[in-house]
């Protein structure tokens, strides 16, 4: 990251953002500039363009998105990518959930746009796509002129992933496309179970359509602090979610609901605890 930005520089994050991105920017001594997404957590291309200053070095996008689960449109990503090209900055595209899409929605990679290779950095995760999340192995596609700089970062931070993760990644790369389809198909069934239960919270929560990743990002219609609500859900209803403040959302009560590591039966039990918990706590 230090090869791309200097301590006086800034990087644009769209809120809600993935907290590790914000931490990586801070660790590099850079300043995150936050740009709010719209009411459906979609990119606001004009707002991003207006936030760019002479100190801006990169714009970060995540699609399919963590924490919201939304998938950005090709038009929006193309416009952001074009803006980065015009302004001479990098477009950092986090695509860890590239295969996790539903209802016919397709993922689009900015790195596939014509003439984007000199300023687009694409991040991918084998562990998410092939069902061994937390093994932490992936890859990046970068402009050729950054190759030496990235090798320096890799050598000083990690050297290489654990050997067992490398063997798992090799197996993933040798897997056939049917494995991916089966894995995502099973997750799609879990997603539907979760969504069916969440829909009972209409009026109590705003449930934004999310056709990617394995998250829903709820806005709860309450004045209660999100952290306090999460604590009570854990203590009183034995179900855990993450407060939206973790993702830079402090203008209301937001919760990230994750279902990626759950079997269908477990998801049903967990989401029922969450729904009942929210109905009990918020309406009391």
pLDDT for 179: 79
Sign of CA dihedral 231, 236, 237, 239: positive
- Average pLDDT score over the chain: 92
List strand residue ranges (DSSP E) for 49-117, in order: 56-62, 90-94
pLDDT for 177: 79
Euclidean distance between CA atoms 253 and 227, whole angstroms: 9
pLDDT for 169: 87
CA 22 to chain centre: 12
Q: Is the confidence at residue 2, as pLDDT, over 60?
A: no
More confident residue, 180 or 247: 247
Q: Is the CATH code 3.90.1150.10 the one for domain 177-283?
A: yes
Residue 180 exposure: Cα atoms within 13 Å on the Cβ side: 16
Residue 12 contacts residue 51 (beta carbons within 8 Å)? yes
Residue-level length of the chain:
284
Cα distance between the two ends of the chain:
47
Task: List the domain boundaries for the chain.
Answer: 10-173, 177-283
Mean pLDDT confidence for 26-37 = 92
Sign of CA dihedral 184, 136, 165, 119: positive
**Cβ contacts of residue 35 below 8 Å, gap of 6+?**
12, 13, 14, 15, 44, 47, 48, 51
Q: In what order do the strands lie in the sheet with 242-243?
A: 205-207, 215-220, 253-258, 242-243
Q: Is the confidence at residue 80, as pLDDT, over 80?
A: yes
Euclidean distance between CA atoms 210 and 71, whole angstroms: 7
Quick one: tokens of 210?
């999310």
Q: Do domains 10-173 and 177-283 have the same CATH topology?
A: no
Q: Is the confidence at residue 3, as pLDDT, over 80?
A: no
Give the number of other CB atoms < 10 A from CB of residue 35: 19
Lowest mean pLDDT among 32-36, 54-58, 131-135: 131-135
Q: What is the pTM of this model?
A: 0.92
Mean pLDDT confidence for 214-223 = 96
Residue 152 dihedral angles phi and psi, to the nearest 5° = -65, -45
Mention the CATH class of domain 10-173. alpha beta
pLDDT for 6: 58
**Cβ contacts of residue 265 below 8 Å, gap of 6+?**
none
Mean pLDDT confidence for 54-71 = 97
pLDDT for 133: 75
Mean pLDDT confidence for 195-212 = 94
Helix axes 177-198, 264-283, angle to 10 degrees: 30
Mean pLDDT confidence for 214-232 = 97
pLDDT, tens digit (0-9, with 9 covering 90-100), for 138-169: 899 999 999 998 888 777 776 677 888 888 88
Q: Is the confidence at residue 69, as pLDDT, over 80?
A: yes
pLDDT for 248: 96
> Where does the pLDDT of residue 114 fall: very low under 50, low under 70, confident under 90, or very high at 90 and above?
very high
pLDDT, tens digit (0-9, with 9 covering 90-100), for 238-280: 999 999 999 999 999 999 999 987 888 999 999 999 999 999 9
pLDDT for 158: 66
Euclidean distance between CA atoms 256 and 113, whole angstroms: 31
Q: Calculate the alpha carbon distances from 225 to 245, 253, 280 in Å.
A: 9, 6, 16
Quick one: tokens of 131?
């069902």
Q: Is the confidence at residue 1, as pLDDT, over 80?
A: no
Describe the chain by its helix, strand, coil percentages, rounded to 5.
Answer: 45, 20, 35
pLDDT, tens digit (0-9, with 9 covering 90-100), for 81-101: 999 999 999 999 999 999 999
pLDDT for 7: 60
Q: Which residue has the tokens 């963590």?
A: 66
Residue 208 dihedral angles phi and psi, to the nearest 5° = -80, 135
Euclidean distance between CA atoms 65 and 21, whole angstroms: 13
């Amino acid at each position: 990251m230090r090869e791309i930005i200097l301590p006086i520089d800034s990087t644009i994050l769209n809120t809600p953002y993935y907290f590790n991105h914000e931490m990586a920017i801070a660790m590099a001594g850079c300043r995150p500039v936050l740009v709010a997404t719209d009411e459906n957590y979609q990119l606001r291309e004009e707002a991003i363009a207006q936030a760019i200053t002479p100190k801006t070095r990169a714009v970060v996008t995540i699609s399919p998105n963590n924490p919201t689960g939304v998938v950005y449109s090709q038009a929006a990503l193309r416009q952001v990518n074009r803006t980065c090209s015009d302004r001479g900055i990098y477009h950092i595209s986090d695509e860890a959930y590239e295969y996790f899409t539903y209802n016919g929605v397709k993922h689009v990679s900015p790195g596939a746009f014509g003439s984007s290779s000199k300023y687009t950095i694409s991040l991918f995760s084998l562990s998410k796509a092939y069902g061994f999340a937390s093994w932490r192995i992936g890859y990046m596609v970068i402009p050729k002129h950054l190759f030496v700089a990235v090798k320096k970062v890799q050598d000083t931070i990690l050297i290489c992933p654990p050997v067992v993760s490398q063997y798992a990644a090799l197996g993933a790369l040798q897997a056939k496309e049917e494995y991916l389809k089966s894995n995502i198909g099973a997750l799609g069934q879990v997603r539907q179970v979760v969504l069916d239960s969440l829909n009972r919270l209409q009026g109590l929560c705003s449930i934004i359509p999310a056709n990617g990743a394995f998250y829903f990002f709820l806005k709860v219609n309450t004045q209660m602090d999100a952290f306090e609500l999460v604590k009570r859900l854990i203590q009183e209803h034995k179900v855990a979610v993450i407060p939206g403040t973790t993702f830079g959302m402090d203008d209301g009560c937001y919760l990230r609901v994750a279902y990626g590591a759950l079997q269908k039966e477990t998801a049903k039990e967990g989401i029922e605890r969450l729904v009942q918990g929210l109905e009990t706590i918020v309406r009391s």
